[in-house]
Amino acid sequence: MPSIPITNYISQGDHVWVDPQTGSEFNVEIGARVVATQTGQIILIDDNEQELKFPIQTKFRLMHITSIEGVDDMILLGDLKESAILHNLHMRYKKNIIYTYTGSILVAVNPYKLLNIYNIDYIRQYSNRKIGELSPHIFAIGDNAFWSMQRYQHDQCIIISGESGSGKTESTKLILQFLAATSGQHSWIEQQILDANPILEAFGNAKTVRNDNSSRFGKYIDIHFDKRGAIEGAKIEQYLLEKSRIVSQARDERNYHIFYCMLSGMSKEEKQTLDLTVASDYVYLNQLDGTIYCDSRDDAKEWSTIKSACKVLMFSDEELNDILRLLSAILHLGNLKFEATTTKNMDTCVVSNTNILRIISRLLKIDENGLSNGLLNRTLLAHGEAVITPLNQEQAFDIRDAFVKGIYGKMFIWIVDKINSAIYKPKEGAAYRKSLGILDIFGFENFQRNSFEQLCINYANENLQQFFVHHIFKLEQKEYDNEHINWKHISFEDNQSILDLIAVKPMNIIALIDEESRFPKGTDRSLCDKLHTNHSKNEHFIPRKTDNDIRFGIRHFAGHVYYDCENFLEKNRDSFSQDLMKLLQETKSKFLKNLFLSEFQMGTETRKRAPTLGTQFKKSLDSLMTILSACQPFFIRCIKPNEYKASDNFDRVLVCRQLRYSGMMETISIRRKGYPIRHLFRDFVDRYRLLAPGIGPSHREGDCRSAAEKICKAALANQDYQIGRTKVFLKDAQDVFLEQAREKVMARKILILQNTIRQWIAHRQFLAIRQSVLLIQRYCKSYRDARRFQIMSNGFTRLQTLYHTRMLTLRYSILRSRILNLQRFCRGYLARQNYRRKTKAIVILQSEVRRHIAQKQMRRYRIEEKMYHEAEQERYEEEKRLIPTLGVKRAKEEAERKYQERLRILQREILEQEHLEQQRAKEKRLLMERKTYTDDNDLFNTMFPSTGDERRTPVHRPTTSTAGGMQSTLGNIPQTMDTIERIDKPLPVPFQDEDLREYTFAKFASTYFQGNATPYFTRKTLKQPLLAIKSERDQLAALAIWITILRFMCDLPDVRTPNVLQKKQSIMTKIHSTLGRKFNKKDLEEAQKLNEAIDNQPPIPPTDNSLSLQTNNSLSSASNKTTSRSVKQKLVNMTLKRKSKLSTDAAMTRLKDLDLLSATQQIKMSGMNPFLEDRPTSNLEKLHFIIGLGIHVAELRDEIYCQICKQLTSNPSSQSIARGWILLSLCGGCFAP
């Protein structure tokens, strides 16, 4: 490209072009202003307000005067190139001027902020005005399109294009509002047309990374006018809805707005009828940590707007309810889970959550079993017979997603047709009607992975580019004709060959995709092979690099795009399971049946030959291009200034890329092949009059055209230029030549002018200096002395202030450092003392609970062994007695039969005894709950009898080591605890009287609890933690803690003890699980002797009801309790195994076990929480589990406190309240919230 004149004669204030500093294809020249040239280097300030420095000998291209001042119409730019257009847009954007013309094309830069330029005053201001009379505005495009239709009686269209987030949808709404306001009728039909937008946006728009309200479909709104110019109707055509968004979204994106508006705006009762909850509970709305909320939208408020718009557009209540039922069914279908199984060596699957399947069948009004079979099986016709093939898990998910996309796609088409039925009033016969169409279409797309949708979108943009270039070329030709320029035909880049490759010529890409889609054995790879075979030699086709690659590329007008053939055929077929289609024929929902009525009317074979998605899109696009070709077009190019949706942020590279891809640069290319440099006669004379003698400024010349011709003849002679009616048309080369000649003349005359001016200035300066120097000297000396004194005085004052400040700062730093050290040492000492005290107390709790377990198991094992022995002895005697009469074999069988019968009777008696013991314990517990007063100390001793007694009555034991290794520890605990209690006294804290009435638990719960959880007592299990917990493992632990707290407070029964009679193993084998390795025969004999002292006591039932029995036993005499306690403690110390850290770290051990297998996988395999025990646990074990998790997992501490407080609030049971307060106090002593 010929460059703008290069010069090194620049001065301060000149505007120049600076070459890009990087080699990116979208980095173009940037405008800059010279701010200094006297420092040995040139200092510039560019358009981004950045300072640039260059050597003094650097040459720059001067900026044309039109680029310096800026223009409303970029056709008037003298510098006809990308950088000049970008500079012009940038300068206007800084001034909040977002609209600029390029001929009849309006370039609109999204400001990302509200501008007060769309009110009724602006509508009146731009009515009945031609383009160019006022500053550029979108209302001017709407008004000129409207009056062109009225004046020439010809249909008009406005084509709005641009990237996502550039403002296309908002521009469409502004055009509609302007047309509704200027039509002058303000009728009901106008309100209906305006209210169609909220409904279409709800069902067809979604939040993306680039745009909070991105249109995921194309639409063409055709507005009809009568002879008076009043709106009498409209019709909406939709193109290529992005149905894949319904089942999957990228990170930080949302599904369609309607789902979130529905869940936010519906009442609780309405949700219950549809079994709906909140958006985060649905897989289709919460993927990849998806965004549930959108900051720029109020979903609840939008729901009210949508419902009112539906009323305006004649949606009945029944139809609206049917739509809500389908939307709810779609959400529930997304939550449907399939569990992989194997049947006859085939991978199959089953529905794991049948409750959701039941809800879906109710909402769709179809058979539940039929729906299950349709999702899990596929019916194929082979030789006229139906063959049912089960689907694996992945296929079942694909069938489900295709089913959902099919329902939503049909529903969206029905909604558009419903809107058209309200706003479209077809004319009969030859009645007058003209139309003005508005096209809001998706822009060019080129992602990291491009699929079938991108091919269709880019094909549409290729058609629009062809349409755009054709009309822009006509405008160029019209300007040459208006200026009476003799010119030859200008060739331009035509993208028709790209359209031929995609969809026009035989064996085009879309035709090959359709052909392969109809082959039963067609695959994505075979499609890629055919494309490569047929088009590898096409200049616009980019073949794959390797045979294993299933990608191909196309050289579009906007750049190279590579397409991945994966799922091309499936997306092009755009169908779902025939089994589900047959199921929909049997639905009792008339609305759902009407959606698929056209498919029902076709046979199976006809349905297979139905047009594919690509063919349908091509057909609709051809129809659209036919409509546009019959209209006079107006173009609006929407530009996105940055990727961050931020105001006052202009990304030059991004804007340049959009201008080039939108086709703006194609217009520049066309103009370059003509006469791109154009000067008005007045501007041309003022700039180049120095090149021809005898020509003055333009305001003195009467005929500027003659003066321009003289300049051209004198400077350009016979070179190629044109003189028009109002402008001089030049090639780039002539413009460069004129600039260079002008610089030479200017340089020669500037030297003469500089010499004269410098001499005159030097003489004037000498006279002024001589007259003023004496007076200045006198005043300066006086001022200097006063100034010196003032500076010295201020300096001493500041010095004193700084000295005092630094001394105070030093003292404060030393004092603060010492206090911090003292606090740290005190806290450390107190923490260590507290840790030692708690550790020893925990050892006491462990020893007592082990004693209790050992006693219970010993009694049970002794009884069972005795029963087994008696039964076996009877069997042996029975067998000996019957041998003489029945023979050995028969006698043995008869003895065995009676032996088994006695075992069953024995087992029944044991179960009855257990049931009787449980009934007694239940009655005693009810008796305890009816007491009006509960002593916390008695309850604590009942829960932990040995621990409580030891604290009140220390028992001194020998300090020698025992077999269990725990006796010396237990013997020294009381003295140690007393010592710790004397040492571990908290520091005195000054009392502060604070009003705590505002800090209520109910207020805290309403703020932080999840899932509508209440702060009040309940016996139900939680579905999710009360507080928000990120880790999935910690969430399961929190749910296990809740169940453990319910069991500890007797609000939930514990699990039953497994029947030990069914385990045929010896009593010694069972006892071995609790005996230590050092437990020898001598110790066993001593244990048996000690146990005789407590044989008379009744056995303790294995459930938590033993608390009531222990409470009654505590009423016995003090001497009996002391003796029993000593005997029991010694037996425990002799028999129980040592569990190194198992008691204190039980909860942490279960946490570490989950590292090998995720909690979710364990739930799928076992169906239960992996943290919960499958056996009865004592109160002490429950306490260890709760407090252990609180100590080791800091994220669960607040959850534990909230769960305990919830159970203590409005609890009707006094015993449960007492247990809860004990648990709360123990937690408070072990860890802080």
For residue 1018, the SS3 value is coil
Main-chain dihedrals φ then ψ at residue 44, nearest 5 degrees: -125, 155
CA 431 – CA 429 distance, rounded (Å): 6
Q: Please tell me which residue in 78, 103, 162, 165 is annotated as part of the active site.
A: 165
Burial of 1117 (0-12, 13-18, 19+ CB in 10 A): exposed
Rounded CA-CA distance 329/569 in Å is 27
- Identify the active-site residue in 166, 169, 182, 461: 169
**How large is the angle between the packed helices 967-983 and 945-952, nearest 10 degrees?**
60
Q: Spell 908-940 as b/e; 16+ CB within 10 A means b.
A: eebeeebeebeeebeebbeebeeeeeeeeebbb
Catalytic residue (choose from 88, 164, 166, 1216): 164
Asked if 517 is an active-site residue, the reply is: no
Catalytic residue, candidates 183, 215, 328, 941: 215
> Which helix (H) or strand (E) element contains residue 183?
none
Which candidate in 237, 242, 319, 445 is catalytic? 445
Cα(1219)–Cα(717) distance, integer angstroms: 109
Q: What are phi and psi of 1142, to 5 degrees?
A: -70, -35
The candidate with the shortest Cα–Cα distance to 167, out of 438, 436, 440, is: 440
| Token pair 């230590």: residue | 1076
Phi first, then psi: give them for residue 406, nearest 5 degrees. Answer: -65, -45
Q: How far apart are CA 624 and CA 220, in angstroms?
A: 8
Residue 961 burial (C-beta neighbours within 10 Å; 0-12, 13-18, 19+): exposed
DSSP labels, 292-310: ---TT--HHHHHHHHHHHH
The count of residues in the chain is 1233
DSSP type of residue 1053: P
CB within 8 Å of 123: residues ≥ 6 apart: 139, 178, 181, 182
Closest CA to 641 of 630, 654, 627: 654
Cα separation, 1022 vs 1010, whole angstroms: 11
Give the max Cα distance, the chain: 159
Integer Cα distance of 884 and 1204 in angstroms = 70
CA distances from 834 to 984, 1169, 1200 (A): 7, 34, 21
Q: Examine the residue annotation and report whether 1220 is marked as an active-site residue of this protein.
A: no
Q: Which of 443, 964, 971, 1188 is catalytic?
A: 443
Instruction: Find all residues with CB under 8 Å of 340, minimum gap 6, and list them.
Output: 347, 348, 349, 392, 393
The DSSP 8-state label assigned to residue 74 in this structure reads: G
In the annotation, is 24 catalytic?
A: no
Q: Is 445 a catalytic residue?
A: yes
**Residue 59 burial (CB count, 10 A):** 12
> By C-alpha distance, which of 33, 165, 156 is closest to 87?
33
Torsion of CA 1117, 1118, 1120, 1125, to 10 degrees: 140
Known catalytic residue at 164 = yes
CB atoms within 10 A of CB 710: 17
Alpha helical stretches, state H, 228-343: 257-265, 268-274, 299-312, 317-334
Phi/psi-derived region of residue 414, left when phi > 0, alpha when psi is between -120 and 50, beta in every other case: alpha
* Two structure tokens written together for 54: 């260059």
Which of 88, 171, 182, 211 is labelled catalytic? 211
To the query of whether residue 215 is one of the catalytic residues in this protein, the response is yes
Encoded amino acid at 25, one letter: E
CB 1200 within 8 Å of CB 1041? yes
Q: Coil, strand or helix: which one is 186?
A: coil
Residue 23 among the catalytic residues: no
Could you give the residue numbers annotated as active site? Answer: 164-165, 169, 211, 214-215, 443, 445
